[in-house]
Amino acid sequence: MTCSISCFSARATLGAAAAFAVLALSQAVPGQRLPTTVIPTHYALKLTPDLKAATFSGEEAIDVNISQPTNTITLNAIEIAFQSVTIFPNGPQQTGAVTLDADKQQATFTFPSTVPAGNATIKIRYTGILNNELRGFYLSKTARRNYAVTQFEATDARRAFPCFDEPAFKASYDISLVIDAGDTAISNTSIAADTPGPGANKHTLVFGTTPKMSTYLVAFLVGDFQCTGGRQDNVDIRVCATPDKAAFTPYALGVAKFVLHYYDDYFGIHYPLKKLDLIAIPDFEAGAMENFGAITYRETDLLLDPRTATVAEKREVALVVAHEMAHQWFGDLVTMQWWDNIWLNEGFATWMENKPVAAMHPEWNIPEVVAGDEQVTLNVDAKPTTRAIRARAETPDEIDEMFDDIAYGKASDVLLTVENYLGEETFREGVHAYLSAHEYGNATAEDFWNAQTATSRKPVDRIMESLIAQRGEPILTFAAPAGGRVSVAQKRFFLSPSITPDPAQKWTLPVCFKTADARDCELVTPETSSVILPATSLFFANAAGKGYYRSVYAPAQYQDLVTHAESALTPSERISFTGDVWAQVQADKATVGDYLNLVAALKSDSNAEVFSNSAGFLGTITDKVASTKEERDELGVWIRRNFAAEYAKLGPPAPGDSPNTLELRAQLLALLVDHGNDADLTVQARQIADRYLDDPTAVDPTLGQAALDAAAKSGDAALFDRLQKVYETSTDPELQENALRLLVQFHDPTLLERGLEYSVSNKVRNQDTAIQLAIGLRVPENRDATWNFIKTHWDQVQADLTTDLGAELVSHSGSFCTGEKRDDVKNFFAAHPVPASDVALKHALENIDSCVELRRLQESNLKIWLAAQAGS
């Protein structure tokens, strides 16, 4: 899956979960898991949805293998009404009685006499509901009509058909759908037969038999989707959408064709199916879902008009397409044995998505985007409540909470660390060996690192176990180099200086050095006290910025790096270096002034991603460290003094501008207006925004969107009305979504109130409501009013919350920075609990605590530094 806002927001993580407990659990059968004495091998599934009544009926035949004679068979089912259950074993057929356990989401069939061991077929007739919760078999609506679509990961296939709903129970599927005459349907495989009836105005679509796959990857979608098709490596690829959005499908088709060929080549295993569909769904909770052969997407993660999309939007769609396609091998062809190893799916796809997109668009700064994402993850992982990558998850809620920044971001960073150490080709061989050994089957973390260890003959097992099974991240402290060596000490890093790490916790990890004339990787183990370093004074301990650790240097080496950052370090290394310094500020080992001086030293950095990272932390300083208007104004003066000339230097957009230049210009404008309070540029931004709204093709869209973002904050009712109209009348999903998001960013209290009211109205889809409110909480000036709105309109808000987006909203309540608000948030959600959000709430409160601590430690430093700037 891909997350809906961003996996790199402070989403859920689990608490203490020691590796040994996980290993022990995988052998036991805890209460929620199904016994392994009945194994499904094949499902024949015929579904008849009624899109107007929002119901469906199902006829199902499950072929199973029974290893011990039994009277009962238990599988998963929830919100299913059973009509009949009959078993056809190696003996007389029997009718079963059904008992339901709603808590465990299980159904048990009890038969009058013992069912013998051996093969049997269970035939089930049942009915279900097309729900409004964006999971299971659910209803998605446009103004014109209804669609019936599916989203099963992690544990919602059981809402559409009774099944053995665990990833290790792989089976093949024969799916048929009885649908209205004018409609079509899409499933994992192609349509094998299309026959009229049964009954008037119906037809029956029969899909080809699937390969063995997990239940959570099954998909069927019913409606009037229109597709743009192409062919690559003998695979039919289509990108599909509702008819009004079909014009926005060609861009993703081009990406998908490139990516398919890239992956065929990289994995050395041809894409496993004959066809691949990518379908945009009007109502979709996540960003996208990798159903085998039928990938589903939120519209804005698949559809765009290349003439009006920003660089970031094009990049994002390409990355999400590449992410889900990587899952066709990593996740769909080879699947984790259980959800405790979901990182094998998500970490891998997050790491892999970058490769084809960087190959297709080297001009898009992909390595730098990756380096920036790693900084976010390192900061999440430096909090005390972080979890280990591999952690316990048993109940559906616990499994849902596994889809977090640790499973996506940290696991991806760990793979990058190992690949950087082994070399790309050696690592690729290990990936190929792992996939070939487990095709159409399941695998564990050990299977992956043992394959890498065998192909590389390096201790990948020790490195990965150390990073996968332990919580948190290491910080490496380097002394001044002497005699061709540098001494190094490691310990766990916490952002909060008030936490003392356990001195026993150590890592085995490769550390790649960059010096003036060489690059070399060393293995740092718990016993290592120093490593060889080619004689030089200038060295950087995270070459390419790909290692998963923080580094800190002796004063002379640090100063050398600051002085030579632009010439000696690559953009990714500069992102890594400035991220390390910012972490030291939070840990009270450096001052906010040190960080600001570093930003000033890099003010002419020509890489948009380096700038974007620095600008992001400038925003944090303005929002979280400064507490008065006076401090923010003084920071604004400093920002204008340093960056106004840089913006002017770029001039207006020109035809030959690279994507990097387009992004840099847009980011400078945003910083100067938002935090630099630049009055002239605020006027200019509004002019650009108006021109962009008049005709989105008349202005470079990257600048146009940035100007619109900046203008909305100080915008008036006329601008609000225009944006509302774009949202309600445009067919372009990106323009629509951008307009909608801005409606909660107006600082004018009356307009903000209108935006918030609108967010919980029936004009806004449930997939967007929580995101709108979360954005309101992110905007410093709108935070209090948004929170008050949420509290006073809780009945309306709650009615629109889906499971994952509810947790997302809770996590954004951690945007505050006072103890008073912390108590308020805590008390409010104690009285108004949101399902599956315990971990999100814990994180939210922790984020407020760390903000309070950061302000307490650094605000006085900021005052001193600002005073010195004013004097200079």
DSSP designation for 523: E
Name which of 34 and 349 has its Cβ closer to Zn ion.
349
Give the separation between CA 615 and CA 624, rounded to whole angstroms. 14
**22 contributes a contact to Zn ion by CB under 5 A:** no
Closer residue to Zn ion in complex, CB, 333/349: 349
Among 1, 47, 389, 840, binds Zn ion (CB under 5 A): 1
User: Residue 394 and residue 120: Cα distance in Å, rounded?
Assistant: 29
**One-letter amino acid of 66:** I
Handedness of CA 224, 230, 232, 234 (dihedral sign): positive
For residue 628, which phi and psi values (nearest 5 degrees)? -120, 160
Has 324 been annotated as catalytic? yes
CA atoms of 7 and 521, how far apart (whole Å): 30
Supply the minimum distance, in Å, between the C-beta of residue 327 and Zn ion: 6
Site for Zn ion in 138-157 (CB under 5 A): none
Of the listed pieces 340-348, 576-584, 715-723, 790-798, which binds Zn ion according to CB under 5 A? 340-348
How many Å apart are CA 719 and CA 734, to the nearest integer? 18
Interaction between residue 407 and Zn ion (CB under 5 A): no
| Residue in the structure block whose two tokens are 């960087």 | 358
Residue closer to Zn ion (CB basis): 342 or 685: 342
At closest approach, how far in Å is the CB of 110 from Zn ion?
A: 39
| Shortest distance, position 350 Cβ to Zn ion, whole Å | 7
Residue of 324, 368, 473, 573 marked catalytic: 324
Helices (H), 215-276: 250-267
- Alpha-carbon distance of 525 to 702, in angstroms, equals 46
Q: Are strands 294-298 and 334-336 parallel, antiparallel or unpaired?
A: unpaired
Spatial strand order in the sheet of 485-492: 530-532, 485-492, 474-478, 550-552
- Part in contact with Zn ion (CB under 5 A); list of ranges 108-116, 229-237, 345-353, 769-777: 345-353
For Zn ion, the closer CB: 177 or 349: 349
The stretches of 651-700 forming alpha helices (DSSP H) are 659-674, 679-694
User: Binding string, 530-569, against Zn ion, x = CB under 5 A?
Assistant: ----------------------------------------
Rounded distance, CA 497 to CA 739, Å?
41
- C-alpha 372/C-alpha 363 separation (Å) is 16
Short-list 862, 866, 828, CA closest to 845: 828
Give whichever of 321 and 524 is closer to Zn ion, judged by the CB atom.
321
How many residues bind Zn ion, per CB under 5 A? 3
- DSSP conformation letters of 425-439: HHHHHHHHHHHHHHT
Nearest distance in Å: CB 473, Zn ion:
22
Strand-pairing partners, residue 492, are 474
**Span from 1-9, 366-374, 690-698, 699-707 in contact with Zn ion (CB under 5 A):** 1-9
CA distance 251 to 318: 9
Provide the sign of the torsion angle of the four alpha carbons 322, 324, 329, 334, taken in this order: positive
Shortest reach from residue 390's CB to Zn ion, in Å: 17
Q: Which residues pair with 57 in a beta bridge?
A: 48, 127
The helix/strand/coil state of 359 is helix
Q: Are 837 and 400 in contact (CB under 8 A)?
A: no
Q: Closer to Zn ion at the Cβ: 1 or 295?
A: 1
- Which position among 130, 219, 349, 495 is part of the footprint of Zn ion (CB under 5 A)? 349
Nearer to Zn ion among residue 328 and residue 614 (C-beta) = 328
- The DSSP 8-state label assigned to residue 499 in this structure reads -
Nearer to Zn ion, 267 or 549 (CB): 267
- Bridge partners of 641? none
Shorter beta-carbon distance to Zn ion: residue 411 or 845: 411
Does the bond joining 35 to the residue before it have cis omega, within 30 degrees of 0? Answer: no
For the CB of residue 347, give the shortest distance to Zn ion in the complex, in Å.
9
Closest CA to 44 of 61, 63, 64: 61
Distance CA 498, CA 755 (A): 40
Cα(742)–Cα(14) distance, integer angstroms: 33
Which residue's structure tokens are 């029956």?
204
**365 with 662: CB under 8 angstroms?**
no
The reply on whether position 317 binds Zn ion by CB under 5 A is no
- For position 322 contacting Zn ion by CB under 5 A, the verdict is no
Q: Among residues 349 and 626, whose Cβ is nearest to Zn ion? A: 349
Using the minimum distance from each CB to Zn ion, give the nearer residue, 402 or 774.
402
The span of 109-117, 144-152, 165-173, 349-357 binding Zn ion (CB under 5 A) equals 349-357
Asked whether 718 and 711 are in contact (CB, 8 A), the reply is no
Task: Tell me how far apart the alpha carbons of residues 239 and 220 are, in angstroms, rounded to a whole number.
Answer: 15
* Residues involved in catalysis: 324
Give the interface with Zn ion as residue ranges (CB under 5 A): 1, 346, 349
